[in-house]
Amino acid sequence: MSEPIPIIGGTGALGWGLAMRLARSGLPVVIGSRSAERASEAAERLRNAEPAATAEGSVNEDAARRGPIVFLTVPFRAQSENLNNLRDVLEPGQLLVDCTVPIAAAVGGKATRSLGVWQGSAAEQAQEMVPDGVTVVATLHTISAPKLADPDEELDEDVLICGDRKADKARVARIVEAVPGLRAVNAGRLETARIVEQLSPLLISINARYKAHAGIRITGLTDDDPWE
């Protein structure tokens, strides 16, 4: 069995959807939450829905210790708090996969508007906050959380991955592509996340108008391995 995949904020819409999809694909997950009770309830709900799933629930700090690749799936307003809480937990060599989107809804504004981040992007802010030796990779900004969390929805879209090392992005890509219907696309260095994160409010605006949960598809790509 592969190593568990901790999902910090795994009881939220995006985190729950990711946990459910990965568990359905046979990957073990650890659902993290500020509340151990909520985390355990979510893991039990997942196991009841997917009897073959390997899912555990734990407080965020304990969950983050469980695997080499940790997903952070909390809203932007909770990103700094969670990273501060994980500062003494994350260890050199771990990858933190930041899925944070800095949208104005985090401060009571509209979800179709973005927020400025001093470091350039939420992902770059995360890289500044994690302990030395922990590397941040950014992804899952353009996928609809309600669609991801609905087991009856079929996925068919691309997921952009930003990071400074191809090898790190390749490890995250393998997890992303374990979910049927998702294709990982190498979107460049971590600083590119400042562009990718802006696609989220754009898609929210489009989907509101079309009453849809559309994602993105990058056309014309070759079959060359982008992670080499």
pLDDT at 48 over 70: yes
Phi first, then psi, for residue 2 (nearest 5°) are -70, 165
| Residues 179-200: tens digit of each pLDDT | 999 999 999 999 999 999 999 9
The CA-atom distances, in angstroms, between 61 and each of 150, 159, 185 are 27, 27, 30
Arithmetic mean of pLDDT over the chain = 93
Phi first, then psi, for residue 213 (nearest 5°) are -130, 50
pLDDT at 227: 75
What CA–CA distance (Å, rounded) separates 33 from 10?
6
The band of 140, judged by pLDDT with boundaries at 50, 70 and 90, is very high
The band of 43, judged by pLDDT with boundaries at 50, 70 and 90, is very high
pLDDT at 107: 67
DSSP letter at 135 equals: E
The band of 220, judged by pLDDT with boundaries at 50, 70 and 90, is very high
Report the share of the chain in percent with pLDDT over 90. 85
pLDDT at 13 over 80: yes
Mean pLDDT of the 83-97 span:
96
What CA–CA distance (Å, rounded) separates 160 from 23?
21
Token pair recorded at residue 106: 């985090």
Mean pLDDT of the 132-145 span:
96
pTM: 0.95
Higher pLDDT: 113 or 177? It is 177
pLDDT at 12: 92
pLDDT at 22 over 60: yes
Give the 3-state secondary structure of residue 113.
coil
Contact 164, 171 (CB under 8 A): no
Mean pLDDT of the 76-104 span:
94
pLDDT at 117: 80
Helices (H), the chain: 13-24, 36-49, 60-64, 76-86, 122-129, 145-149, 166-176, 193-196, 199-210
- Residue 197 neighbours by CB distance under 10 Å: 29
What CA–CA distance (Å, rounded) separates 127 from 141?
17
| Residues 105-136: tens digit of each pLDDT | 766 777 777 777 888 899 999 999 999 999 99
